[in-house]
Chain A
Amino acid sequence: MGMQSHVPVYSHPRAVAVARLDAVSYWYPGGREPVLKDISLRVRRGEFLGLVGPTGAGKTTLCLALMGIVPQFYGGRFFGRATVAGLDTLEHPISALAKHVGIVFEDPETQLTATSIENEIAFALENLKVPREEIIARIPRVLEAVRLEGTEKKHPHELSGGQKQRLAIAAALALQPDLLILDEPTSQLDPLGSQEVFATVRELNEALGVTIVMASHAAEEMAEFTDRVALLAQGRLVKTGAPGEMYGDVEFLHEHALRPPQVAETFYMINNYGVGVAQIPVRLDAGIAQLSALKNEHAVVIASATGLPTGRESTTPPLLSVQNLHHRYGDGAHALRGVSLEVREGEYVLIIGQNGAGKSTLVKHFLKLLEPTEGKVLVSGTDTRELTVSGLARRIGYVAQNPDNQIFNTTVGDEVAFALKNLGHSAEEVEARTVESLEAMGLLEVRERHPLALPKGDRARVVIAAILAMKPEIIIFDEPTTGQDYRGAKYILEISRKLHEMGKTVIVITHHLYLMPDYAERVIVMGKGTKLLDAPIRQAFHDIDLLASTYLAPPQAVFLAQSLREDDLGEACLLLTPKEVAAHVAGKPLGCIA
């Protein structure tokens, strides 16, 4: 690694705390409840500390408290003491603390302000009056550290999501901080971007000894990369421990509405089946090894019965038909290359692929927000060229990634009624459909509230209710789980299930494959503008090589299932979930799809 020779290596005894929180409690101005409650925590120099907890647990506030932004910027009431590099965060200005703590936030788009990458890195250094020569010397070093060397003159917007986040890390790293804080740095990124960021952070930690504090919902990666995990719940520090100890205690995680890594969940279930598991593994390689050992020790019989759900075979005429679709953007980018597919009424279809694979471009053709360069899109047999955007909007509902972009009325009721009024329905019809839709989404009680005053998950429900009121045949969810914690993501997906059960055709675009086995029946894998695969979910998720070609990885349960296949089964057994894998290992199969 070149970075070792250029970037200063942080070599300090681990026992030394780089940051300390002693009985820290904090109220935001006007807040009725404290957001942090008696938090005492040491961040040891050189460690990679993971912060986990459901949304609202206080993770972001804790990160901001380590930076002095809480309470110096927000105000409020602060109890206890927080120090970073020996500096009390209330007695030293944020500018002084910024020399010791770098912070990277969730959304890379909101962190980048300069017009070139080198200016972006130089910005904070200039503000701290670092001499020009030193700034010029640091820029290539930190770019090398995050593997962005040679991009100095590029505009940040030319970078991919993962690269932007790495640039934000580089900008923080240029300050040569004692502590680097990352607050949900991968939640807005596709799997490739997320991998890039985790790999970069791990390298910074292991090769350079940078102390890391990272808040994240990515259980599998946190279990893999962190040295220690701290769990926050309702503002309290509930427990700290090694990843094995924290993520191995599955019941404890469930109690706190957290998702364990699938490998841990699988072994927890195996244990519950009465097959003794000495220690629950939290990392995939350990899980695969332990599975093999377990079978040898206990002579576990892996059954190969049939009977797992495969998804429905529909014989109805296609609701959506895409025929040899090509799309070229104005700049010449060939975003779709001869895509053909059909979606039938009542299907639940998952569309996956890396960023730039053509997923959104494809979906925009369904809504006529884009028109084919070649080929055609038919909705119920009619070419979309003959249909209007407004006409299609009545039939196809679209829930964008950020619900706030679709909200513009001042009450929840008005938001739901807005489109109905514009479609010329009578006042009685508008009222009836609004009430019906609000009831279906459980929003009737907040009808008079401002939509933006609701939590993010509820705001998504407002958008869904508005779409539902138009009684569409198809509902498209574009990255509905991005930025949501496990509970929030499941909540939205349960709504999609409910809509599916109501007979709606549901199309979901997501990178969170581990969430989807309980919902989707069919998967369309996109890559570089082409349809790589269109198959039932079991088949698609087990095509690991094909998923890897579009920078996706299936859930850990699939890897575990495949390890079973290699070791024991001798036939394809397309298990998808921890529950299915555990049942098979315990000799009580739920079924097996060969």
Chain B
Amino acid sequence: MAFIPSGEERDVRRVKRVAVDGAPLSYIVTLAAVATALAIVPLSVVVGSGKSFPLSQGVYPLVGWLLGPVAGALANGVGALIGVFVAPHTTTLPLATVLGAAVGGLAAGVMRGSGKRRWWWQPLALFFAALYGIYAGQALIRNGVAWYAVLLGSLIDWSALLLFVMPTRVWFAQWMLSTDPKSVALGLFCGTWTIAGLTHLTASSVIYIFSNWPNEVWLAMAPLAPLEHVIRAAVGAIIGVGVILGLRATGLVKPEHANF
């Protein structure tokens, strides 16, 4: 028989938790620390700079899905900013690193927005399209790079932009909500390809203003960039599946705009 309490029901007022856009501050701090820690681990070389891409690039999208767009951007931004100081070997240009990380969290968080947030992806898509225009335009017009070299060398950037603009954006986010770990992994892989690509686009656009790498570098990037991008996506999928399934199982409080 169901228990019927004899005492009167009380109005429960929750203490105000310190939260940013529905994500507890403790979660933001934790994931910022994860981003910083992974910034120390080199993933791949940055052609012509003597620097490395950090492993954290694989988890910037995940942070957005775990925390939502605003808190995700904040956690990534803070994590990347600290990473600039503790891991200078993986920082090509501090501004690009921090901006790319923050934008990655934001873009991941808006992939499957509801209510008014349903449209948040649109200004971001315009922003990324403008960045790509500046990035590719600078290569074609100012540096005289061949169009096919730009197209091949920026495959991960324009493919990410297309996947973000098309309904695939929502599909990937929905797959992550599945109870089937394989679907979650697929959603994370494709989603990380998309969002990490946009992070790359943001960072590269800024870096290219100063670096202006020539045709040869664009061609060298053509086979290398997709390969390392697959690794980023795999990192996001491998870490993400464990984290998401674990979070679901442990029943920790879910941030308001999380996607898992």
Partners in one complex: yes
Query: In the complex, A24→B12 CA distance in Å?
Result: 13
Q: Is the CB of B5 within 8 A of A450?
A: no
Residue among B246, B250, B251 having the largest count of chain A Cβ atoms under 10 Å: B246
Q: Chain B's nearest CB lies how many Å from the CB of A492?
A: 22
Instruction: Check A34 against B6 for contact (C-beta < 8 Å).
Output: no
A453, B250: Cβ atoms closer than 8 Å: yes
* Cα distance A38–B7 in the bound complex, in angstroms: 7
Chain B 1-42, CB within 8 Å of chain A: the 1/0 string? 001011111111111010000000000000000000000000
Complex-state Cα separation, A38 to B9, whole angstroms: 12
Give the distance in Å from the alpha carbon of A75 to the alpha carbon of B6 in the complex.
20
With a CB–CB cut-off of 8 A, which chain B residues contact A38? Answer: 5-7
**A93 at interface by CB-CB < 8 Å:** yes
In chain A, residues 18-46, which have Cβ atoms closer than 8 Å to a Cβ of chain B?
A: 22-25, 30, 33-34, 37-38
Q: Does B248 contact A (CB under 8 A)?
A: yes
Q: Is the CB of B15 within 8 A of A410?
A: no
A79-B5 Cα distance, complex, nearest whole Å: 7
Answer yes or no: B166 CB below 8 A from chain A CBs: no
Pairwise interchain contact B12-A93, C-beta atoms closer than 8 A: no
Q: Mark B166-195, 1 if CB is under 8 A from A, else 0.
A: 000000000000000100000000000000
* CB neighbours of A94 from chain B (8 A): 15
- Least distance between B153 CB and chain A CB atoms (Å): 37
Residues of A within 8 A of B5 (CB): 23, 25, 34, 37-38, 79-80
Please name all residues of chain A whose beta carbon is closer than 8 Å to the beta carbon of B8 when the two chains form the complex. Answer: 79-80
B242 in contact (CB, < 8 A): yes
In the complex the two chains form, is B250's CB within 8 Å of A75's CB? no
Asked whether A90 lies within 8 Å of B10 as measured between CB atoms, the reply is yes
Q: With A25-B3, A37-B3, A410-B181 in contact, do A78 and B12 touch (Cβ < 8 Å)?
A: yes
Interface check A252, CB cutoff 8 A: no
Q: Is the CB of A75 within 8 A of B7?
A: no
The CA of A161 and the CA of B7, in the complex, are separated in Å by 41
In angstroms, how far is the closest chain A Cβ from the Cβ of B241?
A: 7
Interface residue from A24, A37, A72, A452 paired with B250 (Cβ < 8 Å) = A452
Contact A90 B13 (CB under 8 A): yes
B12 contact set on A, CB distance < 8 A:
71-72, 75-78, 90
User: How far, in angstroms, from A33 to B242 measured CA to CA in the complex?
Assistant: 29
Interface status of A81 (Cβ within 8 A of chain B)? yes
The docked-state distance in angstroms from the alpha carbon of A93 to that of B248 is 30
Chain B residue at smallest Cβ distance from A69: B15
The residue from A72, A77, A450 contacting B13, defined by CB atoms under 8 A apart: A72
- Which A333-361 residues have a C-beta within 8 angstroms of B? none
- A88 — nearest CB in chain B belongs to which residue? B10
Q: Are A24 and B249 in contact (CB under 8 A)?
A: no
A73 CB contacts on chain B under 8 angstroms: 14-15, 17
In the complex, whether A329 has a CB less than 8 A from a CB of chain B is no
Q: Given the complex, which residues of B lie within 8 Å of A23, measured CB to CB?
A: 5-7
C-beta contact mask, A430-460 vs B, less than 8 Å → 1, else 0?
Answer: 0000000000000000000111110000000
* Chain A: minimal CB distance from B176 (Å): 14
User: Which partner residue on chain B sits nearest A89 by CB separation?
Assistant: B10
Tell me if A408 is interfacial: C-beta within 8 Å of chain B: yes
Residues of A within 8 A of B181 (CB): 410
Q: Flag if B7 contacts A72 (CB, 8 Å).
A: no
Q: For the complex, give the distance between the alpha carbons of A80 and B251 in Å.
A: 27
Q: Which of A75, A79, A93, A452 contacts B249 (CB 8 A)?
A: A452
The reply on B245 being an interface residue by CB < 8 A is yes
B45 smallest CB distance to A (angstroms): 30
In the complex, how many residues of chain A place their beta carbon closer than 8 angstroms to a beta carbon of chain B? 29
B3 touches A34 (CB 8 A): yes
Q: In the complex, A408 Cα to B249 Cα: how many Å?
A: 13
Q: Which residue of A lies closest to B14 (CB)?
A: A75
Q: Chain A contacts of B250 at CB under 8 A?
A: 452-453
Q: Which B residues lie within 8 Å of A449 (CB)?
A: 249
User: How far, in angstroms, from A24 to B6 measured CA to CA in the complex?
Assistant: 8
Please measure, in the bound complex, the distance between the C-alpha atom of A453 and the C-alpha atom of B12, giving whole angstroms: 28
Please give, as numbers and ranges, the residues of chain A lying within 8 Å of B6 by CB-CB distance: 23, 25, 38, 79-80
Instruction: Name which residue of chain B comes closest to A68, CB basis.
Output: B15
Considering only residues 237-255 of chain B, those with a C-beta below 8 Å from chain A are: 241-242, 245-246, 248-251
- CB pair B3 A78 closer than 8 Å: no
Q: Evaluate whether A80 and B7 lie within 8 angstroms (CB atoms) in the complex, with A90-B13, A452-B250 already known.
A: yes
Most B C-beta atoms less than 10 A away, residue of A34, A450, A451: A450
| Minimal Cβ-Cβ distance residue in A for B9 | A79
Question: Inside 8 A of A90's CB, which chain B residues have their CB?
Answer: 10-13
Across-interface contacts of A408 in B (CB, < 8 A): 242
The residues of A that contact B245 with a CB separation of less than 8 Å are: 410, 450
Contact B7 A410 (CB under 8 A): no
Chain A residues with Cβ below 8 Å from B14 are: 71-73, 75
- Contact across chains for B249 and A25 when beta carbons are under 8 A apart: no
Q: How far is the CB of B249 from chain A (nearest CB, A)?
A: 3
Q: Are A79 and B3 in contact (CB under 8 A)?
A: no
Q: Inside 8 A of A71's CB, which chain B residues have their CB?
A: 12, 14
Known: A34-B3, A453-B250. A410 touches B9 (CB 8 A): no
The smallest C-beta distance from B69 to any residue of chain A, in angstroms, reads 25
Cβ B248 vs Cβ A450 within 8 A: yes
Q: Which residues on B sit within 8 Å (CB–CB) of A22?
A: 7
Nearest CB on B from A278, distance (A): 39
Task: Note all chain B residues with C-beta closer than 8 A to A78.
Answer: 9-10, 12
Which residues from A are CB-within-8-Å of B251?
Answer: 30, 453
Q: Looking across the interface, which residue of chain B has its beta carbon closest to that of A28?
A: B251
**Hey, which chain A residues are within 8 Å of B9, CB to CB?**
77-79
Task: Give the docked Cα–Cα distance between A77 and B242 (Å).
Answer: 32
Do B249 and A453 touch across chains, with their CB atoms under 8 A apart?
A: yes
Verify A450–B249 contact, CB threshold 8 A: yes
**Cα of A80 to Cα of B8 in the assembled complex, Å:** 5
Bound state CA distance, A25 and B3, in angstroms? Answer: 10
Note all chain A residues with C-beta closer than 8 A to B249: 410, 449-453
Asked if A410 contacts B246 (CB within 8 A), the reply is yes
Nearest CB of B to A210, in Å: 26
In whole angstroms, what is the CA distance A24 to B7 when docked?
Answer: 6
Query: Which residues of chain A from 57 to 103 have any CB-CB distance to chain B below 8 Å in the complex?
Result: 71-73, 75-81, 90, 93-94
Most buried by A among B10, B17, B181, B248: B10
**Cβ A25 vs Cβ B246 within 8 A:** no
Residue among B3, B15, B241 making CB contact with A72, cutoff 8 Å: B15
What 4 pairs across the A-B complex have the smallest Cβ distances?
A80-B7, A23-B7, A450-B249, A25-B5
Task: Name 29 A/B residue pairs within 8 A (Cβ), A-sorted.
Answer: A23-B6, A23-B7, A37-B3, A38-B5, A38-B6, A38-B7, A71-B14, A72-B15, A73-B17, A75-B12, A77-B9, A79-B5, A79-B6, A79-B7, A79-B9, A80-B7, A81-B10, A90-B12, A94-B15, A410-B181, A410-B242, A410-B245, A410-B249, A450-B245, A450-B248, A450-B249, A452-B246, A453-B249, A453-B251
Q: Known A-B contacts: A79-B8, A453-B250. Give 7 more (CB < 8 A).
A: A22-B7, A23-B7, A37-B3, A80-B7, A90-B13, A408-B242, A450-B246
